[in-house]
């Protein structure tokens, strides 16, 4: 939810006594608990060092690690997602992260006998949609306008405006149909 100050400043204003006035205030009263919970989560992240734009929507996320590693741009949405903040995770503007998504900025080297931690940043550029239950692995950069399909496991960089599906994620090869109007 956007910050309380932002919501109040940009609220719909209707003349007192009109049906729209009562509908708006009814909605505000019935949703106040959810608004306060979402703002509480936002405040905890910001107090931990995260940088979150005032218009971003933060759902019930599980963010483990250093909160200073989280940056979220304007008008972005995070659903019920898991974030492993071992390294920087940056979300651009108008990014949609659906429920069940995992953003993992840390992993282990399987060839290392000491099982050392590997940390690499995750960068998600503007206008990206990451669908339900997708997993983004360390060091991945997702280009502007890309779509990550449900359940995809992304281990390599994603080109702008591409659609990635599967495990491991691969570009969806689909030709667009041309429509001719007479």
List of domains in the chain? 50-171 (2.160.10.10)
Give the chain as a DSSP string: ---HHHHHHT-----TTSHHHHHHHHHHHHHHHHHHHHHHHHHHHHHTT-EE-TT-EE-S-EEEE-GGGEEE-TT-EE-S-EEEESS-EEE-TT-EE-TT-EEE-EEE-TT-TT--EEE--EEE-TT-EE-TT-EE-TT-EE-TT-EE-TT-EE-S-B-TT-EEETTTTEE---PPPP----
Show which residues are catalytic: 108
Give percent of the chain with pLDDT exceeding 90.
60
Contacts of 9 (CB under 8 A, 6+ apart): none
Region 155-169: mean pLDDT is: 93
pLDDT in tens, 13-66: 889 889 999 998 898 899 888 888 888 888 999 999 999 998 998 888 999 999
List beta partners, residue 51: 71
Q: What distance in Å separates the CA atoms of residue 82 and residue 94, rounded to the nearest whole number?
A: 19
pTM of the model: 0.83
pLDDT in tens, 107-135: 888 888 888 888 999 999 999 999 999 99
Q: Given pLDDT bands bounded at 50, 70 and 90, which one contains residue 176?
A: very low
Sole residue written with tokens 């690690």: 65
């Amino acid at each position: 939810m956007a910050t309380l100050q932002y919501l109040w400043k940009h609220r719909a204003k209707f003349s007192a006594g009109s049906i729209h006035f009562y509908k708006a205030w009814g909605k505000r009263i019935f949703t106040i608990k959810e608004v306060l919970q979402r703002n509480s989560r936002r405040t905890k992240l910001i107090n931990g060092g995260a940088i979150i734009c005032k218009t971003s929507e933060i759902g019930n996320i599980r963010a483990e690690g250093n909160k200073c590693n989280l940056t979220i741009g304007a008008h972005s949405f995070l659903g019920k997602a898991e974030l492993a903040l071992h390294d920087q995770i940056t979300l651009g503007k108008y990014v949609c992260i659906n429920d069940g998504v995992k953003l993992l900025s840390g992993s282990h080297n399987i060839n290392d006998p000491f099982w050392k931690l590997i940390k690499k940043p995750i960068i998600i550029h503007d206008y990206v949609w990451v669908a339900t239950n997708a997993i983004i692995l360390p060091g991945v950069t997702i280009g502007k306008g890309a779509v990550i399909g449900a359940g995809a496991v992304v281990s390599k960089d994603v080109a702008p405006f591409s659609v990635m599906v599967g495990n491991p994620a691969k570009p969806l090869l689909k030709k667009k149909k041309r429509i001719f109007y007479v």
